[in-house]
Amino acid sequence: MNTIGSIVAITPVWNEPLGMIQQFQNRIEEVRRELTEKGIGFRHFFLDDGALNLPDESSILVRHPENLGLAYTLVDGYEAVLKLKSKADLVVRLDCQEHEADQIPFVTDHLSHNGTQAVILPVWYTVKGEPRPLMREMTRFIADFCEALAPIDAKTVLGVYNQKFPMGFQAFRSETLSKIAPMLRKALDIFQARTKKHATWGFDLLAILLAAKEVPDALDFVFGGWSTPWQENRGPDKVEAQKKRAEEMIAIALELGCIESADGSLHHHPAFS
């Protein structure tokens, strides 16, 4: 029942350098060979969000002539995967810059041996001159985050989910993704209607919140390693902007009725008032 025979992986691309994309493609090919040897079908697609350096010969599932932002690109990508003629048992979302493609076989094996429906691999952003946390601290961060998801304790979630601890490596069984994808689309519409602008990022958190509602006992988190953030992600302005966007995603999930707050009430973000 837990066997995974086919995988589709998707990677959104916008301003990544050509060299980074090519190195990532090389690692993807290594993963393909490893999975093929195990009898597992594997397809990888890029999601072109007005990409600056994506080679023409790349396998591209979604094309945006201009940059629409990560949130729209991911939702378009999930919907496109679910519409593929050859269905996948598992859908993996990962980036070129901060995620290791060789984690895909690990995640596949993890889901194949239990009833897990979704696995999230948080990474820790390391900055030169700043010490890394001890692994027991990483375990505590993940445990605190998990306990704060259903019902949601927004304060705890926001205290863990920030620019230091992104959770963009996500793997969903197709049946779970098919349940949360329509809600992600609806959330995009709500965000744009309320703010008069496109949602750029923050939907990784929203996907986690929706999965925690749909499969609360089958959502797992495994530490995904260390990563160096983009230079522009290090400043205090970006940290504050990411916190605000996370607050907005929680507010949308509460408004959709997808999750409940720890005190059973619904709260609206000031931006939506």
pLDDT at 230: 62
Model pLDDT, residue 268: 47
Tell how many helices (H) and how many strands (E) occur in the chain.
Answer: 8, 9
**44 three-class SS:** strand
If you search the block for the tokens 């925690």, which residue do you land on?
A: 212
User: CA nearest 224: which of 141, 153, 144?
Assistant: 141
Structural domain of 105: 6-272
Pick from 205, 215, 99, 118: which is nearest to 156 by CA? 205
How many Cα atoms are found within 13 Å in the side-chain-facing hemisphere of 62?
28
* Bond into 270 cis (ω within 30): no
Q: How many domains would you assign to the chain?
A: 1
Within a domain: 1 = no
Q: CA dist 141 to 155, 221, 234, Å? A: 13, 11, 20
Q: Would you state the structure tokens that stand for residue 8, as one six-digit string?
A: 């589709």
Q: Is residue 62 part of a domain?
A: yes
Q: What CATH number corresponds to the domain at position 31?
A: 3.90.550
Query: What residues contact 99, with CB distance under 8 A and at least 6 apart?
Result: 121, 123, 168, 169, 224, 227
pLDDT of 266: 44
Report in angstroms the alpha-carbon separations of 240 from 105, 114, 196, 235, 243.
35, 38, 20, 9, 5
Beta-carbon contacts of 64 under 8 Å, excluding residues fewer than 6 positions away, are: 48, 49, 50, 72, 73, 76
In a domain, 208, yes or no: yes
Residue 35 covered by a domain: yes
Per residue of the chain (273 residues), give pLDDT as tens: 578 999 999 999 999 999 999 999 999 999 999 999 999 999 999 999 999 999 988 999 999 999 999 999 999 999 999 999 999 999 999 999 889 999 999 999 999 988 899 999 999 888 778 888 899 999 998 999 999 998 888 888 888 886 668 899 999 999 999 999 999 999 999 999 988 888 877 899 999 999 999 999 999 999 998 887 765 556 677 778 878 888 999 999 888 877 666 654 444 444 444
Does the pTM exceed 0.85?
yes
